[in-house]
Amino acid sequence: MKIPFIYNARSVIQRPASTAFTAVGIALVVAVFIGMLALANGFRAALARTGSDNNALVLRRGADSELSSGIDRETANLIATSPHVALAADGRPLVSPEVYVLVPLVRVGGDSNAVGNVVIRGISEKAWDVRANIHVDNGHRPASGRSEICVGTKILGRYRNTSIGDRLRFAGRNWDVVCNFSAGGSAFESEIWGENEQFMPVFRGQVFQSVSFRLKDPAAFEEAKRALEGDKRLQVDVHRESTFYVDQSKLLGDILQFLAIVITSIMAIGAVFGAVNTMYAAVAGRTPEIAVLLTLGFHPRSVLASFLVESALIAAIGGIIGCLIALPVNGFVASTTNWSNFSEIAFNFRVTPGLLLAGLIFAVVMGVAGGFFPARRAAKLPVVQALR
């Protein structure tokens, strides 16, 4: 025989102050939990969207990021002529040998020492087609042979002189900003693009950092990898673009996730203690009630269940409040350095339904954990004494 749920619901309303305190305590833990994981999620998602399954990225053998790679012209040309490269409608290979460097740009609203390391990517004309979902929002693409650059949407408003029509100075030259581009929330949005042949002489001379190309047959990636890595004339590693960028998020993603888990665990212990305190007090305060329930013939197991349900209910209320507190951070832009390649990247917090559900479950688990010992005490109450 179960004790009706309404009994618990009413008991919770009976002591509004202490219920509210416990619930809000749990709510804050859940909010921090969701917020921190939304940050780690957002960062990972930005990099996960950067690469495409249909593309291959070629770096120098042993290089662990685009920054530390180097590929000469000859190698780039050999890769472009590989049979694994897809062809565009005009019959030319869909390949983009790219220059990748970091330049210090001055942030908006800081002094001239407040700089961030921004990725400058020199691309070939074909990159706009090779790369996934790049979209020029305003202006026109940089013309070949001119010092023109296109600025990612996440750079706008965060660094000086990055609006269309501005002149941005880096590497000892002036560059005209002629367009903005978006890339579906990927890490590309934190980059500045221009023509590779323009960037080569001012940065590292006659060397590219990477070569990206569209695979003729995405399923035949392994074959393309074997062919290029086995070519005696080349010293390269071939990565599937999508997995490469996901790996680039590993270091910082792990740091953020570790922080999230440590912080919320410590908070959760505190919140569970709060729930334990609340429930013990509830049991102590309702001793006669419990005794009556037992006298009426409810099984001690039912009493135990009933108190667990009550504790879980308080926690669930807290969980819902926590989700509501955390929801507004969705879409909020944060920026930090991706330590895998030292570049600054801006990305959105991502609160997903799955994350909200995890927060709720986490809350209920805290409630049940906090309610267990008090509920057991209630179930083991010596009836005769308690009725006195």
Please report, as ranges, the residues that interact with other proteins according to CB under 8 A: 17-18, 21-22, 24-25, 28-29, 31-32, 35-36, 39, 60-65, 67-68, 101-104, 113-117, 170-172, 202-204, 235, 251, 255, 263, 266-267, 269-271, 273-274, 276-278, 280-281, 284-285, 334-337, 339, 342, 344
Q: Is 3 helix (H, G, I), strand (E, B) or coil?
A: coil
Q: How far is the CB of 81 from other proteins (least distance, A)?
A: 24
C-beta closer to other proteins: residue 204 or 299: 204
The count of other CB atoms within 10 Å of the CB of residue 89 is 7
Among 56, 60, 37, residue whose Cα is nearest residue 245: 56
C-beta closer to other proteins: residue 134 or 326: 326
Question: How many angstroms separate the CA atoms of 98 and 56, rounded?
Answer: 13
Query: DSSP string of 200-245?
Result: HHHTTSSEESEEEEEBSSGGGHHHHHHHHHH-TT--EEEEEHHHHH
Q: How far is the CB of 3 from other proteins (least distance, A)?
A: 23
Q: How far is the CB of 106 from other proteins (least distance, A)?
A: 12
DSSP 142: P
Among 172, 194, 176, 189, residue whose Cα is nearest residue 98: 194
| DSSP H or E run through 282 | helix 250-285
C-beta closer to other proteins: residue 208 or 298: 208
Q: How far is the CB of 140 from other proteins (least distance, A)?
A: 27
Q: How far is the CB of 153 from other proteins (least distance, A)?
A: 17
C-beta closer to other proteins: residue 85 or 363: 363
Q: How far is the CB of 54 from other proteins (least distance, A)?
A: 26
The radius of gyration of the chain's CA atoms, rounded to the nearest angstrom, is 29
Q: How far is the CB of 69 from other proteins (least distance, A)?
A: 8
C-beta closer to other proteins: residue 143 or 284: 284
Question: How many angstroms separate the CA atoms of 2 and 168, rounded?
Answer: 72
C-beta closer to other proteins: residue 171 or 220: 171
Q: How far is the CB of 24 from other proteins (least distance, A)?
A: 6
Give bridge partners of residue 236 from the DSSP assignment: 60
Maximum separation of any 2 CA atoms in the chain, in Å: 95
Among 100, 70, 98, 96, residue whose Cα is nearest residue 85: 96
Contact between 117 and 103 under an 8 Å Cβ cutoff? The reply is yes
C-beta closer to other proteins: residue 86 or 334: 334
Residues, the chain: 388
Give bridge partners of residue 179 from the DSSP assignment: 139, 150
- Residue 277: is it exposed, middle or buried by C-beta count within 10 angstroms (0-12/13-18/19+)? middle
Question: How many angstroms separate the CA atoms of 27 and 20, rounded?
Answer: 10
CA dihedral (310, 312, 318, 324) positive or negative: negative
C-beta closer to other proteins: residue 142 or 370: 370
C-beta closer to other proteins: residue 71 or 123: 71
Q: How far is the CB of 200 from other proteins (least distance, A)?
A: 13
